[in-house]
Amino acid sequence: MAPLRAQLDPDERRRTARHAILPGFGPDAQALVRGARVLVVGAGGLGSPVLYYLAAAGVGVLGIVDDDDVAASNLPRQILHGGGDVGTPKTASAAASLRALGSPTRVVEHRVRLTASNAEALLAGYDLVVDGCDTFATRYVVGDAAARLGLPVVWGTVLGWDGQVSVWWSGAPDGRALTYRDVFGEQPPEGDTCSSAGVLSPACGVVGTTMAVEAVKLLTGTGEPALGRLLVYDARTSTWDGVDLGAPTNPDPRHEGESEGWAKVHHQPPLEGEVATGGNTLVIDVGLHPVVPGALWVRLDDLAAGELPDALEAHPVGDPLVVVCDQGLRSRGAAGLLRAEGWLQVSATTYAALDPHGAAGFGHD
Amino acid sequence: MSVETRTTTVEVRAFAAARAALGWAGRAEVVPEGATVAEVVAQLAAAAPAAGPVLARCAVLLDGRRVPDPASAVVRAGSRLDLLPPFAGG
């Protein structure tokens, strides 16, 4: 989990001053919030507090996935939307409410239903997914796609007087690499929903706000996220219980495949030499200083600000981009930005993987 | 003269709709030694028949791990069972 650190301008430093002085958080964590790209699935009862808090906190890019229109019965709990929004797309109404907050967050509307065929492409442009949708079908699509991509998912659900929150991350360390399926198994038939069984409106706020807390902790590496723990909320008594989750004893072979998927993202296999020199491939070095001979060196901050050098602007969107840095974290973040800018074949790697034998003289110290 | 059945005690926690249907949040349940997870859940359902349908839908965790086959997973003294009805509202 490593969004890029984005530089805060003086206005944003002033706006986020309470985070800057917060013990255990500080300006460095806020810079990670500013550089983060978060996809929120569902702009409803849970998505409303999640999106409000993440936008207000200054998350760099917030994607909103929802294909629904606002209905009058949504209004008591889906507080992004107002009476005047009934009948209009939730993504548009949500985006308007978030922009009114005056934070520097870029809001991206994805007015689509997330399906197995579009999920991976959508999720791949983000550092973190927050799942507050309202069907098992979409939750399993989100869980499976994120597990394959190695993206963490802040997951929350609410019904009646009850709520649950956890963090699924197929790439998590220390035996906490759990996925939605590890705990809840195969997809059950769609059961009761908020429209059939009702829901206590402010309970959505409690659960959704807890999801926002988990998201901010994951993005910044602060606190202790609910990895390997299921948080269970009972609004009748205003009580939270924690269920400690064990690593699966008999890993499903599919999950092993998914873990490899994560490994592909985070530990790129050594690239072939010709990739670096191939005619159509542009290698972009996002290290603190230029390291790779012949590569285009780009400052991450410029990339985050959308200031692209001419040589990059001129690179056809269909041709491959290889982004490289020392640890693979800056390059991964930069790759996400470049995909969002429209390039279709972007991979991230490290100096060592690009030059495994040190033949070019930069792969090893 | 009857043969005494040896018993063991497990900790059961019920959440959400399972808690509402059973009428309790957690309790120590005395079960026959060597009982499986499925047998413990059946014993709970026998004591509260109205809870049967929701118990059947629950994800059951044994010491924090999902039990893929409740009919073959045996509980031990001090095992913790968590009954989690799945729901997907948002």
Q: Tell me, what's the ipTM? A: 0.93
* R_g over Cα of chain A: 21
> Across chain A, how many H-helices and E-strands are there?
16, 12
Chain-chain contact of B15 with A246 (C-beta, under 8 angstroms): no
Q: Which of A66, A121, A138, A72 is nearest to A95 (CA)?
A: A66
pLDDT at A263: 28
**Mean pLDDT for the stretch of residues B44-72:** 95
Beta strands per DSSP E along A118-262: 128-131, 153-159, 162-168, 229-234, 239-244
Q: What is the mean pLDDT of each run of 10 residues along chain A (365 residues)?
A: 81 95 95 97 98 98 98 97 98 98 97 96 96 97 96 98 97 90 94 90 98 98 96 97 84 39 30 46 86 85 76 86 79 77 83 74 54
The pLDDT score that the predictor gives to residue A277 is 42
> Which of B59, B63, B87 minimises the CB distance to A192?
B87
What pLDDT sits at residue A203?
Answer: 98
Give the pLDDT score at A271.
Answer: 35
Q: Please provide the average confidence, as pLDDT, over all residues in chain B.
A: 95
Closest to B37 (Cα-Cα) out of B83, B74, B85, B78:
B74
CA distance A174 to chain B (A): 15
Which single residue is written with the structure tokens 């997870």? B37
- The A-side interface with B (CB below 8 A) comprises 42, 44-47, 131-136, 139, 156-160, 162, 164, 182-185, 188, 190-194, 197, 199, 230, 232, 234, 241, 243-250
pLDDT at residue A293 in the model: 83
Tell me if B16 and A162 make a contact (CB, 8 A cut-off): yes
Nearest to A121 by CA among A69, A63, A35: A63
User: What pLDDT, on the 0 to 100 scale, is given for residue A362?
Assistant: 65
What's the pLDDT at A273? 32
Nearest to A33 by CA among A291, A186, A216: A216
Q: Report CB contact under 8 Å: A158, B15.
A: no
> Distance (Å) from the C-alpha of residue B32 to the closest C-alpha of chain A?
25
Q: Tell me how far apart the alpha carbons of residues B79 and A140 are, in angstroms, rounded to a whole number.
A: 29
Closest approach of B4 to chain A, Cα-based (Å) = 34
Structural element, H or E, at residue A283: strand A282-285
Taking the CA of residue B87 and the nearest CA in chain A, the distance in Å comes to 7
A18: left (phi over 0), alpha (psi -120 to 50) or beta: alpha
